[in-house]
Amino acid sequence: MEKVAEKQNFIKKFFKTILKWFAVIRPLVLMQLKDKIDFSFLKSKKNTIFKIVFSLLLFVAITAAVYLVFKLIVGLGLFSFVSTVNFRMYLIVMTLLMLLSFISCLTNVTKTLYFAKDNPVLLTFPVKNSTTFTSKMIVCLIYEFIKNITYILPFFWGYGLVMKLSFTFFLWTILSLILFTLLCVSISGFLSIPTMAIVIVLKKVKWLEVIVVAGVLGALIYGVIFAIGMIPEDINLIRDWGRIYWSIQDFLADFASKTFIFNMLLQLFTGMFYGSNNFKPFNHDNLFTFLSCALIIIGCFVLVYLLSSKLFLRMASNPFEYKKKDIKKFKKNRRYFPFLSASQKSALVSLRSANVIYSVLAVAIITPIAIFLQNKIIGAMDTRILGNFLGITFNILIVLLMVLSSNVIIASTFSKEGNAGYLNKVNPVPYRVPLSGKVMLNALICVGSIIASTVVISTFAKFDALQSILLGFSMIFIYVAHLLWSAEIDIMNPQNRLYQTSGDAQKNPNETKSTIIAFIMSILFAFVAFFLMSENIKVVFVKLFFVTLIILVVRIYLYLTRIRLYYKEK
């Protein structure tokens, strides 16, 4: 009897402890989640309904898109003669997706654990440091799970729909996603230690950072040029289809054998199915993979708890002040015109913020290379006139999508400045001077990239000089219009508070807006170009030039007027 009572007491105690722990960790988790994810929609019923409907629509849209792509691939018979999705092809897609998800998770976990601005504040709360650390890990888990539901689950379900799999498959994939999230976060937590060390070293040793970035970029460029060199001069898909088909099969088999870990994982996540209604989540192999995963997750979490939590504490309690170094050689004072000075100041700030400048540079370098690669492939094909027009349209679309997407940084750059930017109002120059100066570096880099891309497009499409100039200017006009639009969005709706706690906002509404506008503008421009091209190729660029010029003039007017009024009134 005593033993039973003791046991009951122990269970009671255990649950009490758990409940207590939960009561402590819950507000911590909620607080951090609110900072990461915008829950403001919960304030009103209407917004909540909209949010739910929108989220569902987004999910349905992605799933439908995936379904259609798989259906198209099956229809075209690119990877298989039978009308099912080739599992090896699916493996490539999912491997890339899982890797991307993992990289994003690693970045997020590293930032959240060691570089978030709220860490020192969290440490001041009356809870154990280990609890704070655990809350951070839970936040990462929840955030990653939501992300995976939005972006990975549609790939499972799209596949299931095309393969006409049973209902059990769809349920099983949700469970798989939990497992995948746990795996990602646990391994990321473990790997965040060396990642953090590398980041710190790179931050401290500037030249090393430059060498690493240059090396990576060089390797990428070399890889692309190597790939371009491998493209044959003459591609005739219909004539050579047999050979190409078996080359694809060889590649798939090779890929599957080299990525056997992902192969095993994917088999575990998708389960085993024999026909459309016979679905079994497990077989012997899968059980082995599952147990291995479980072991890795537990092992990683234990290691993370033992190692990372201490490191987290150390990083969070690090002093804010940097090490000073005395400089004996003084620099000279220089004088510039206000606009030039503002541009130079912003350029220096950008150049000293590695993540900003690298992402812009990467876009600027990759764009003309991507265009070159695409044209090389299309150029090797025997295309009809409609194909040529489609090729040019895709060139334009890719250039615009890439350079316009780089403007998304501009949609948060003023918010990130916080009070320093606010003090622009004190200076005795028109507001447009310091504000416009901030976007100059990005503009110069991307305009250069557009010019290079235009040269590539014009060379392959054999445009004359006037056509090339008009096309180049049209794309530059659209780019600058979007740049000013993005800047205007951020100036008019500053999101300073998002950057005050964690120093990094996962979902800045201004960035989302800018991304949507970039997407719509690129698609519209490409559509109009294609539409006009099929009507009359000779006048298409003249029309585009004037239309984009009008758009640019309107945007410049709106930008200047709005910021003038905003700064005068706010």
Partner 1 sequence: MTLGIYYGISLIFAVLVFLLGFFIGKKQSKILNVLCKGFSLVLALFFAMRYMLGDDLISETFALADGPFETNIQNFFGIILVWFTYVSNLLLILYPFFDVKKLKIFTKVFAFPITILNICFLGFHFTAITGNISSVIIRNMFFAMEMGVALGYAILIVVKTDFKNIFKKHEKISQDKNEILKKYQKNNFWNKVANVLSIVWKFCKKHWFDLFAVLVIIFSVMPSYTIQAIFGHAEQIYKAKDFEISHRIILYIGFILPFIVHYTLRKKEYSEKKFYLMFICLGTLITYSFTKKLDAFLDPTSWPLHLCNTAMYIMPIVLIFNMKRFFYFTYFINVIGAFFAMIMPNYGAKENIFSGSLVNFYINHYIAFFMPLLFVSLGMFQKPRFKQFVYSMLGFLAYFVLVLVVNAVFTGMFEAGIASQSTDYFFINSDFIADKLGRWATDTRNIKAIIEVNGIKLTFYPLYQTLFFFVYVALGFGIWFVYEYCYTMFANLNDMFERNRKVKLDELALLSKMNGRSLNEPMNPENDYKLILRDFTKRYSGSEVLAVDHANLEVNGGEVFGFLGPNGAGKSTIIKTVVGIQPLTEGEVEVCGYDINTQPIEAKRCIGFVPDHYALYEKLTGREYINYIADLYNVSLEDRNQRIDKYVKRFELEGAFDNQMKTYSHGMKQKIAIMAALVHDPKVWILDEPLTGLDPNSIYQVKECMKERAKEGNIVFFSSHIIDVVEKICNRIAIIKKGHIICTKTVKEIEESGTSLEDFYMDIINGPDYIKNLEEEQKEEQNKEEK
Q: Are 405 and 370 in contact (CB under 8 A)?
A: no
Residues in 302-341 at the binding interface with partner 1, rule: CB under 8 A: 321-327, 329-331, 333-338, 340-341
Structural contact between residues 137 and 304, judged by C-beta atoms closer than 8 angstroms: yes
Q: Is the dihedral of CA 123, 127, 129, 131 positive or negative?
A: negative
Span interacting with partner 1, options 4-12, 419-427, 445-453, 472-480, rule CB under 8 A: 419-427
428 binds partner 1 (CB under 8 A): yes
Question: Residue 227 contacts by C-beta under 8 Å, 6 or more apart in sequence?
Answer: 373
User: By the 8 A CB rule, do 165 and 276 touch?
Assistant: yes
Nearest approach in angstroms of CB 491 to partner 1 is: 14
Number of residues near partner 1 (by CB under 8 A):
52
Smallest distance, partner 1 to C-beta of residue 553, A = 15
Pairing of strands 272-273, 279-280: antiparallel
> CA 77 → CA 81, 162, 200, 248, 369, distances in Å?
6, 14, 49, 12, 30
Radius of gyration (C-alpha) of the chain in whole angstroms? 27
Looking at beta carbons only, is 9 or 427 nearer to partner 1?
Answer: 427
For residue 43, the 8-state DSSP code is G
Cβ 201 to partner 1 shortest distance, Å: 18
- Backbone torsions φ then ψ of 381, nearest 5 degrees: -95, 155
546 binds partner 1 (CB under 8 A): no
Q: In the numeric block, which tokens belong to residue 70?
A: 């798989």
Footprint (CB under 8 A) of partner 1, residues 153-172: none
Question: What is the x/- site pattern for partner 1, positions 37-76, by CB under 8 A?
Answer: ---------x--x---x-----------------------
| Least distance in angstroms from the C-beta of 431 to partner 1 | 10
Residue 546 Cβ vs partner 1, minimum distance, rounded to whole Å: 15
CA angle 562/567/569 to nearest 5° reads: 95
Nearer to partner 1, 233 or 321 (CB): 321
Interatomic CA distance for residues 249 and 232, integer angstroms: 19
- x/- map, 523-542, partner 1, by CB under 8 A: --------x---x-------
Of how many residues is the chain composed?
570
Q: Measured from the CB atom, is 455 or 492 closer to partner 1?
A: 492
Q: What are the b/e assignments for 134-152, b being 16+ CB within 10 Å?
A: bbbbbbbbbbbbebbbeeb
Q: At what angle do helices 153-162 and 45-76 cross, to 10 degrees?
A: 50
> Binding residue for partner 1 (CB under 8 A) from 422, 523, 539, 550?
422
The H-or-E segment that residue 273 falls in is: strand 272-273
Among 120, 379, 418, 503, the residue binding partner 1 under the rule CB under 8 A is 418
- Supply the DSSP string of 334-361, one letter for each residue: ----HHHHHHHHHHHHHHTSHHHHHHHH
In whole angstroms, how close is the CB of 554 to partner 1 at the nearest point? 11
Q: Is 349 in the site for partner 1 (CB under 8 A)?
A: yes
Figure out which of the listed residues 64, 146, 235, 558 binds partner 1, where binding follows CB under 8 A.
Answer: 558
Q: Which is nearer to partner 1, 136 or 416 (CB)?
A: 416
Give CA separation, 185 vs 62, 99, 188, 196, 371, in Å: 24, 13, 5, 15, 36
**Whose Cβ is closer to partner 1: residue 53's or residue 291's?**
53
In this structure, which amino acid lies at residue 151? Y
Amino acid identity at 451: I
Q: Determine the interface stretch with partner 1 among 155-163, 343-351, 483-491, 499-507 (rule: CB under 8 A).
A: 343-351
Q: Which of 3, 43, 284, 570 binds partner 1 (CB under 8 A)?
A: 570
Q: Which of 275, 420, 465, 538 binds partner 1 (CB under 8 A)?
A: 420
Interface with partner 1, residue 18, by CB under 8 A: no
Among 19, 100, 348, 539, binds partner 1 (CB under 8 A): 348
In whole angstroms, give the CA distance from residue 312 to residue 112: 10
Per CB under 8 A, which of residues 429..448 are in contact with partner 1?
429-430, 433-434
Shortest distance (Å) from residue 496 CB to partner 1 = 11
Mask of contacts with partner 1, 469-498, x by CB under 8 A?
------------------------------
Do residues 84 and 163 make contact, with C-beta atoms less than 8 angstroms apart? yes
What residues between 228 and 287 interact with partner 1 by CB under 8 A? none
H or E element in which residue 306 lies: none
- Whole-number minimum distance, CB 345 to partner 1, in Å? 5
Site for partner 1, residues 199 to 218, rule: CB under 8 A: none
Based on the shown chain and the rule CB under 8 A, indicate whether residue 568 belongs to the binding site for partner 1.
yes
| Nearest approach, Cβ of residue 16 and partner 1 (Å) | 44
**What is residue 353's DSSP assignment?**
S
Give the list of residues 6+ apart from residue 338 with CB closer than 8 angstroms, or none: 429, 433, 434
Number of neighbours of residue 244 by Cβ within 10 angstroms: 14
| Residue in 448, 461, 474 with CA at minimum distance from that of residue 375 | 461
Return residues touching partner 1 (CB under 8 A). 46, 49, 53, 321-327, 329-331, 333-338, 340-342, 344-345, 348-349, 352-353, 417-420, 422-423, 425-430, 433-434, 531, 535, 558, 561-562, 564-565, 568-570
